Amino acid sequence: MAQQLEYLREQLMESQRLATIGTIAAVIAHEFNNLLTPIVSYSQFALQSAQSEKPDMDLVRKALSKSFQGSSKAGRICSSMLGLARGESMFGPVLVQKLVDETLAVMARDPQKDGIALRVQVQPDLSISGDTVQLEQVLLNLLINARQAMLGRGGSITIKAQRLETSEVRIQVIDTGPGIPEKLLPKIFQPFFTTKATARKGEAKGTGLGLAICKEILEHHKGRIDVESEVGKGTTFSIILPAN
Ligand SMILES: Nc1ncnc2c1ncn2[C@@H]1O[C@H](COP(=O)(O)OP(=O)(O)OP(=O)(O)O)[C@@H](O)[C@H]1O
Ligand SMILES: [Mg+2]
């Protein structure tokens, strides 16, 4: 009996280990996809221009710099996600303004090009304690969701950050998209919950990992993520983190 129990326990540990590896692979693939989309399109621009009669050196330079930024970030995400799986992170002071600027810099397209107004309201000198790479991932996932929610309809995205009286910092991503029906709200942070499984032409497809990754990263930071949404009005995601 004891021997069999021990055997089963080992089997369980092995299958848990494999499940973790599967999750890490899915998460890294998901985050890579976020960054590879702009890298592919920018390098295509650069190639086309370089092969034309009159290469536009400004465009080539911008495209190369964007691709370089994106791929360096992808490399860092890889080690950071493996670290997260082992429960290790590179915690340090993170300037919120820098976090926002860096995240916007790696987005595939300027939201303004899709008729979406972007506003950034960050209190000066706001600083939190955390892992920069992971916090950028959180913000990027929220911004991509907000943009996807408004594609083809226009609207605005506001990034707001302020210190709270509780000596915490709140970073909000506020959109004027279609909102989330109340009955779906408890599900959106579950891994693989998505309403983008069957995308129509021009719409984004999703795997439902974005918000699950955000939640995992914030729990690891001893912070949290909340959502408020009203159908027809828009959605606000709030990240709360300990101030530095
Ligand atoms: N800003 C938003 N406005 C409206 N709905 C949203 C918004 N953010 C998230 N959602 C809803 O929550 C679901 C889960 O979001 P999540 O980011 O986890 O997955 P996804 O965006 O569908 O796919 P993935 O992020 O893996 O590409 C979405 O499918 C969508 O229904
Ligand atoms: Mg998403």
Query: Tokens at residue 33, please?
Result: 């996809």
Task: Note the pLDDT of residue 90.
Answer: 81
Task: Note the pLDDT of residue 112.
Answer: 80
Task: Note the pLDDT of residue 203.
Answer: 75
Whole-number Å distance between alpha carbons of 119 and 234: 15
Task: Note the pLDDT of residue 19.
Answer: 66
Sign of the torsion formed by the C-alpha atoms of 36, 40, 46 and 47: positive
Q: What is the atom index within ligand 1 of the atom nearest the CA of 146?
A: 1
Whole-number Å distance between alpha carbons of 151 and 236: 17
How does pLDDT run along the chain (244 residues), one tens digit per residue? 899 989 888 888 777 766 666 777 888 888 888 889 889 999 999 999 999 999 999 999 999 999 999 899 888 888 887 777 777 778 899 999 999 999 998 876 777 888 899 999 999 999 999 999 899 999 999 999 999 999 888 999 999 999 999 989 999 999 999 999 999 999 999 988 999 988 777 677 888 999 998 998 998 899 999 999 999 999 999 999 998 8
Whole-number Å distance between alpha carbons of 161 and 168: 11
Q: Residue of the nearest CA to atom 1 in ligand 1?
A: 146
CATH class belonging to 89-242: alpha beta
The torsion angles phi and psi of 136, rounded to 5 degrees, stand at -65, -40
pTM across the whole model: 0.84
Give the largest Cα separation in the chain, rounded. 78
Q: Residue of the nearest CA to atom 28 in ligand 1?
A: 194
Whole-number Å distance between alpha carbons of 11 and 210: 30
Query: Tokens at residue 120, please?
Result: 């950034």
Structure-token match 């304690």, residue found: 129
- How far away, in angstroms, is 27 Cα from ligand 2 center? 12
- How far away, in angstroms, is 180 Cα from ligand 1 center? 9
Please report which ligand is nearest the Cα atom of 208: 1
- The HSE-up count of residue 171 (CA atoms within 13 Å, CB side) is 28
